[in-house]
C-alpha cells in the first residue's frame, strides 16, 4: 500500500516516513498542499495523511480536491489544531480520523492499522492471498493479524509479507536477498541489520518463546526457514 504524507514540518514528515516505511508501506511525501494534490493525481496512493496548516493549499483544500476524485480513500488529518470545530470540519469533509499533535508513534500506527483493516475489506485486491497457516497460527493478511486459539496478534504489512514468503517456501532456506527483494522491493538498499531486527520483532509477537524460536529458524550464513 502507498501512503501519501502531506506535512510541511520536515522533522515530522521524515519521522512519519521512516516509521511507516518500517511498517511496510510505500511512502509519498509532500511539503505543501499543491505538491500533495499533484502526487495524489500522479501516483494514486491508497491512504492519505494530511496536515491542516500547510503552505499553498491547506489540508482542508487538499481533502476537498481528493474527495472530488476518490470518495473512498482513507484520509487522516494530522494537526496541532485541537478545537472541536476543526475536528468537525475535517470529518465533514470526509476524513476518517483526526490525530492531534503532539502524538505518539504507537497511536499513529494503531490508527493507521485500524483504518487499513477497514479499507482492505473493501479492496481485497491489494493483498491477494487468503488466510494461511503458519505453524499453529492462522494468518489473516487483510486483517493485518494472526490468531492462535483466542489470541489475536496484530501484524504490520511487512510482517505479513515476510510470513507469506516463508509459508510459501516452507522447508526452504530463504536468503536475505530474497526476503529483501520480495518484502521490501528491488529498489530498496538494505541495512545489514534491518531484516534481523524485523525477524526479532516478529518472533517476539508470534513465537511461544522468542529465545528458542520454532516457527522461524535462523540458518547461519544463509537466511531463514519456516518448518
197: domain CATH number is 1.10.10.10
Predicted pLDDT at 119: 73
13 and 98 housed in the same domain: yes
Question: Does residue 55 share a domain with residue 157?
Answer: no
pLDDT of residue 9: 94
Over the stretch 45-68, which tens digit does the pLDDT of each residue have?
989 999 998 999 999 999 999 999
Return the percentage of the chain with pLDDT > 90, whole number.
51
**19 compared with 185, residue with greater pLDDT:** 19
| Strands 47-51 and 75-79, bridge-based pairing | parallel
Count: domains in the chain:
2
The whole domain housing 168 covers 132-225
The overall average pLDDT reported for the chain is: 87
12 class by beta-carbon count within 10 Å (0-12 exposed, 13-18 middle, 19+ buried): middle
Q: Do 114 and 142 fall into the same domain?
A: no
Sequence-separated (6 or more) residues with CB below 8 Å from residue 56: 32, 33, 34, 35
Among 102-106, 127-131, 150-154, 181-185, where is mean pLDDT lowest?
127-131
Residues 25 and 118 in one domain: yes
Length of the chain (residues): 227
Q: Are residues 172 and 91 both part of a single domain?
A: no
Enclosing H/E stretch for 75 = strand 75-79
Number of neighbours of residue 158 by Cβ within 10 angstroms: 18
- 132-134 and 137-140 beta bridge pairing: antiparallel
Q: What is the mean pLDDT of residues 127-151?
A: 87
Provide mean pLDDT across the span 78-85. 67
Say yes or no: 51 and 87 in one domain. Answer: yes
149 backbone dihedrals φ, ψ, rounded to 5°:
55, -120
What are the pLDDT digits (tens) for 145-201? 999 998 999 998 889 989 999 999 999 999 988 998 888 875 556 565 788 888 999
- Transcribe 98-135 into DSSP letters: EEESS--HHHHHHHHHHHHHHHHHH-GGGS----EEET
DSSP state of 173: P
CA-nearest of 123, 36, 3 to 72 is 123
Amino acid at each position: 500500500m502507498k501512503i501519501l504524507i502531506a506535512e510541511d514540518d520536515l522533522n515530522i514528515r521524515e519521522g512519519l516516513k521512516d516509521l511507516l516505511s518500517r511498517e511496510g508501506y510505500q511512502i509519498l511525501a509532500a511539503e505543501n498542499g499543491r505538491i500533495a494534490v499533484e502526487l495524489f493525481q500522479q501516483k494514486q496512493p491508497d491512504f492519505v495523511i494530511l496536515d491542516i496548516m500547510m503552505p499553498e493549499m491547506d489540508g482542508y483544500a487538499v481533502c476537498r480536491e481528493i474527495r472530488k476524485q476518490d470518495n473512498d480513500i482513507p484520509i487522516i488529518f494530522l494537526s496541532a489544531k485541537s478545537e472541536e470545530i476543526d475536528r468537525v470540519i475535517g470529518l465533514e469533509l470526509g476524513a476518517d480520523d483526526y490525530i492531534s499533535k503532539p502524538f505518539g508513534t504507537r497511536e499513529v500506527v494503531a490508527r493507521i492499522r485500524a483504518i487499513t483493516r477497514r479499507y482492505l475489506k473493501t479492496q481485497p485486491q491489494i493483498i491477494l492471498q487468503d488466510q494461511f497457516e503458519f505453524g499453529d497460527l492462522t494468518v489473516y493478511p487483510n486483517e493485518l493479524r494472526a490468531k492462535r486459539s483466542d489470541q489475536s496478534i496484530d501484524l504490520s504489512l511487512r510482517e505479513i509479507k515476510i510470513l507469506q514468503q516463508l509459508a510459501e517456501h516452507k522447508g526452504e532456506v530463504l536468503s536475505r536477498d530474497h526476503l529483501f527483494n520480495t518484502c521490501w522491493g528491488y529498489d530498496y538498499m538494505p541495512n545489514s541489520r534491518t531484516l534481523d531486527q524485523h525477524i526479532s520483532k516478529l518472533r517476539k509477537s508470534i513465537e511461544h518463546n522468542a529465545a528458542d524460536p520454532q516457527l522461524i529458524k535462523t540458518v547461519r550464513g544463509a537466511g531463514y526457514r519456516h518448518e
